[in-house]
Every structure is written in structure tokens, then in C-alpha cells.
Amino acid sequence: MNRKLAGFAASLLMSVSLASCGSTVESAHPQSEDASAYTQGGNTASAPQADTGRLSVTGAPEENTTTIATEPFSMDVSTPEGYSIPDKYVIEGFETVLQEPELPSGCEITSLTETLNYLGFDVDKMTMAFDFMPIDLAGYTLMDEAYIGDPRYDGFGCNANVIVQTADKYFASVDSPCYGVDLTGTEFSDLFWQVSEGRPVLAWTTIDLHESYPELVWTAGNGEDFYFDWWQHCMVIYGYDKAEDTVYAADPLKGNVTYSLSQFNRMYDILGKQAVVICGDASTEGHHITTEAEKSITCLSYNEQKENELVAVEDVTDEIYVYEEAPVPEEER
């Protein structure tokens, strides 16, 4: 995301209110443009119920319908002990989606979108940002619960687990068995095992690998201290070359680029060793099963908040229009 402006903290006091994270919070910016305009048809369906693990066989007479036990899709992405990988590996065909101009501070959701596109899912960054990403427009909570601010302006960002929540919420909407895995805490060198297995890795670092550190910005509405690195950035690692000290990255601000492996490692560590991979792709067979990440969501997406706001206004309007004056007593006529 672009270099944030310190003055943004003051803008959190602006007066457009939305329901977010179970509380009434203040909007970071007046909304001159309704994000619901970016909603794509077919991508806003509510998440299906958890799969029962049994598949009905159709096409036969009703009395002969049978069920077949099925195992939910899963992948083991844990780093094996004593693993070996090539000195160089590049995932071919990975293309960057640029976050600007629409999402100048939306590097995390754009990195997720470019990963989903590579995996065969036809979805755009705006739909992901406003239909699926938990968002807190006013800084009531922290980046572990939602994207803080508005990615169309000078918002802050979110942590790895929020991107997993967003991915799984999207997979629910298209009944895909795919899911995200939060690899936070994984050593940087171990991320290359994921890449060598053909899995692009979303990694948290800084813009241009600039040397910077998180600092206290304010106390959030929930009473917790909000720390932020003003250069925080997210991009996707799709290759490496250990001999050349090189990381191949899809940087939402620049495109497909290479960075110093050692400096990337350093900034990755400073940003909390945050990383995410996606298990499966668009061709993976099966049905969606509600994940623990989905169950942990505490904040609504932007468009869900707007929809709730409109429903609340409609309810008030209904109350106004159904109101009837009390009849005047005959003696007073």
C-alpha cells in the first residue's frame, strides 16, 4: 500500500456511521462513491451450509437414490522435516494485478485476487475488497479482525488471518472446497518449499523493502493499542533463486519484479513473519465446508454493512408511513 499519511488518524472522527465489528463506528471517509457498484453478479450469494460429507447420486428413480461417503478436500502444507528443494524455482504464468488506481492502499486484497486469478477463479479485486473482506472503517478494532480504513483511500491494512477469512468466505460463495492457510510464524526459507510445490505465497513486507518498524498509532475503539508500519506492504512470492539472492514477486504496486532475497527475509521477519497460501484451485472437486477461519469472522464486509444500513433506513421509513393519527372524540369535533 502507499505511504500512509499521519493525518489519517484524525479523519477517523468524521461522522458517517456504519455498523462494523458488532459496534457502531465512524466512517474513515465520506462515501462519495458507493462500493456496491463494484459487485459482480453471482459472487454475493450467502455461504452454503457445511457439507455433510455425503453425496446424493442423481438421475435415478427417487426410491433408488443412494449416498456415497466422501472425504472433504484437504492438503498438508506443513513443512516436512529434512526437505530439499531446487536452488531455483519459478512458478510459470503468475501475473500481477495492480492495486492502483482503484485501491491505492489495498495491497493485501489485490495480492489475494492475483493469486485466485492464477488458480483459475474469475474474480476481481473490487469484488473481493467490498463483498468479502471484513472491514472496519473507523479503527474500532485491530488488523487481526478486519481491514482498517478504506482501501480506496489512505486505509491501513489487515493481517494474514483476515486474508484467510476473506478467501474462505469467497470460496463459500462459489461452493469451492478450496481454503486458505495462515502460515504466520513460518521461517522465510521454509516459504520456498511452498513455492517449489507450486503454491504462490502471500507475504507481508514493506514497500521497496524499505527498512522501517511498526509504531504505536492510537488506541483503538476496543481499548487495544494499534501498532502500524507506515511502509507495510503485501505481495506474492512466486519464485526464488538462492544462488542469485533473488525473490520473484508479484508486487501490486509495480508488477512482476525481483527483490533481494536477504532483504525480503529481513523485512518479512520485522512484519511478523506473516504469510498465506491457498489450498486447491478452480478445478478442485468437492463442495465447500465452513472453515474455522469463517467461524472466527467478527466484522462484516463493506457492502454487507451498507446493506444493513439500508435495511435499517427502510424499517424506519415503514414505521413512519404506517403511523396513523388517533381518531378525534366526537365531543371535540
Residue type, 281: D
pLDDT computed for residue 260 by the predictor: 98
What residues does each domain of the chain span?
A: 103-323
pLDDT computed for residue 285 by the predictor: 97
- The secondary structure element, H or E, covering residue 321 is helix 302-322
Query: Measured between alpha carbons, how far is residue 50 from residues 272, 279, 287, 290, 321 in Å?
Result: 32, 18, 9, 5, 41
Q: Which CATH class is domain 103-323?
A: alpha beta
Main-chain dihedrals φ then ψ at residue 70, nearest 5 degrees = -130, 150
Express the helix, strand and coil content of the chain in percent, nearest 5 each.
30, 20, 50
**What pTM was computed for the model?**
0.80
Whether residue 289 contacts residue 172, with contact meaning beta carbons closer than 8 Å, is answered with no
Instruction: Pick the closest to residue 166 from 231, 214, 234 (CA basis).
Output: 234
Rounded CA gap, 195 and 51, in Å? 30
Residues pairing with 235 in the sheet: 203
Q: Consecutive sets of 10 residues in the chain, 333 residues long: mean pLDDT of each?
A: 44 40 40 45 31 30 49 94 97 98 98 98 98 96 98 96 98 98 98 98 98 97 97 98 98 98 98 98 98 98 95 67 54 58
Q: Could you tell me where the beta strands, DSSP code E, fall in the chain?
A: 17-20, 23-26, 54-56, 67-69, 88-90, 135-136, 147-148, 179-182, 201-206, 215-219, 225-228, 232-241, 246-251, 255-260, 275-279
Contact residues for 253 (Cβ-Cβ < 8 A; gap 6+): 2, 98, 99, 100, 107, 207, 233
pLDDT computed for residue 47 by the predictor: 31
Cell of 293: 477461519
Whether residue 110 contacts residue 219, with contact meaning beta carbons closer than 8 Å, is answered with no
* Residue 216: other Cβ atoms inside 10 A: 9
pLDDT computed for residue 156 by the predictor: 98
3-state secondary structure of 237: strand
